């Protein structure tokens, strides 16, 4: 951008700095925000969300306007603190809600608000796309025919080691195939399985253990949300009654 005369990059990880240096040889590099602050007028924060608030508050406290990648923060309390700090210092605090700078999104808003579309209903989407190195399959549960379409379209990863200069992935296109599927209403298949298992005493495909595996994943997600750390399935698989640690692991 013509108004930007100088760009510096900050990253605590040496490997990332090295990669940046190769991609942009003229770039000044710093291992942390504090050492870079004297060399910049404004800061863009594109780090993991848990670090957004602390970094933004540091930048704002030193009089720098800040653009933070979404999400602005990981709690409303942090977000309010950032807003207050920017307002107190008359600095710009901006969040990277890119969709709000997208003309198509604004057009859609206009279409809805002008009532051109009439009453709005939520469109049900049940689609799973699996992209492989050889082919891509799209499963659209709401399609009356062609629920599964196989595209001879794959993703090709770059040759050799990937660096910032390389395109991360490229696409290869080819024919599209929709295999024949004998379709039966899944709810009816499920209930028939239940009745069959009751009559024969056999174990259903989705037995209690199958249910447990989903509950474990949900429990891990819930603990992770509250503790702010990664939670392994082993932690909730304990059968001795002990509870997983809620403390954050650094």
Instruction: Provide the minimum distance between the beta carbon of 248 and ligand NAD in the complex, in angstroms, as a whole number.
Output: 16
CA gap 218, 242 in Å, rounded:
18
Distance CA 29, CA 9 (A): 5
Contact 64, 85 (CB under 8 A): no
Q: Give least dist CB 131 to ligand NAD, A.
A: 16
Residue nearest to ligand NAD (CB): 69
- The CA-atom distances, in angstroms, between 93 and each of 21, 28, 62, 66, 76 are 28, 24, 13, 5, 15
- Measured from the CB of residue 73, what is the shortest distance to ligand NAD in angstroms? 10
Compute the radius of gyration of the chain from its Cα atoms. Answer: 26
Least Å distance between CB 47 and ligand NAD? Answer: 4
Name the residue nearer to ligand NAD (CB basis): 59 or 236.
Answer: 59
| Nearest distance from C-beta of residue 249 to ligand NAD, angstroms | 17
Q: By C-beta, is 56 or 223 nearer to ligand NAD? A: 56
Q: Specify whether the CB–CB gap between 45 and 67 falls below 8 A.
A: yes
- List interacting residues with ligand NAD (CB under 6 A): 10-13, 16, 33, 46-49, 51, 55, 69-70
Question: At closest approach, how far in Å is the CB of 162 from ligand NAD?
Answer: 12
For the chain, count helices (H), then strands (E): 8, 11
From its phi and psi, is residue 233 left (phi > 0), alpha (psi between -120 and 50) or beta? alpha
**Paired tokens of 14:** 């040496």
Nearer to ligand NAD, 69 or 193 (CB): 69
Kindly tell me which of 16 and 153 has the beta carbon lying closer to ligand NAD: 16
For residue 152, the minimal CB distance to ligand NAD (Å) is 27
**247 CB-side CA count, 13 A:** 2
Looking at beta carbons only, is 15 or 240 nearer to ligand NAD?
15
Residue 59 · residue 38 · CB < 8 Å? no
Output 26 or 48, the one with its CB closest to ligand NAD: 48
- Between 29 and 83, CB nearer to ligand NAD: 29
DSSP per-residue string spanning 156-207: EPPSSS--TTS-S-EEE---EE--------HHHHHHHHHHHHHHH-PPPTT-
């Amino acid at each position: 951008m013509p108004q930007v005369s100088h760009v510096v990059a900050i990253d605590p990880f040496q490997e990332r700095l090295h990669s940046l240096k190769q991609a942009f040889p003229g770039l000044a590099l710093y291992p942390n925000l504090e050492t870079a602050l004297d060399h910049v007028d404004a800061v863009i924060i594109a780090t993991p969300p848990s670090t957004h608030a602390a970094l933004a508050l540091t930048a704002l406290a030193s009089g720098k306007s800040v653009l933070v990648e979404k999400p602005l923060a990981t709690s409303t309390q942090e977000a309010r603190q950032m807003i207050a700090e920017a307002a107190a210092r008359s600095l710009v605090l901006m969040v990277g809600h890119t969709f709000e700078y997208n003309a198509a999104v604004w057009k859609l808003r206009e279409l809805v608000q002008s009532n051109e579309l009439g009453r709005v209903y939520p469109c049900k989407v049940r689609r799973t796309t699996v992209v492989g190195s050889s082919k891509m399959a799209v499963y659209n549960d709401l399609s009356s025919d062609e629920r599964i379409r196989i595209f001879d379209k794959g993703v090709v990863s770059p040759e050799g080691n990937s660096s910032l200069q390389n395109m991360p992935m490229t696409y290869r296109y080819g024919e599209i195939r929709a295999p024949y599927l004998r379709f039966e209403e899944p709810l009816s298949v499920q209930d028939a399985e239940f009745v069959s298992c009751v009559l024969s005493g056999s174990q259903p495909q989705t037995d209690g253990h199958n249910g447990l595996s989903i509950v474990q994943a949900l429990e891990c997600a819930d603990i992770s949300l509250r503790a702010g750390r990664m939670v392994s399935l082993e932690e909730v698989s304990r059968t001795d009654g002990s509870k997983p640690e809620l403390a954050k692991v650094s």
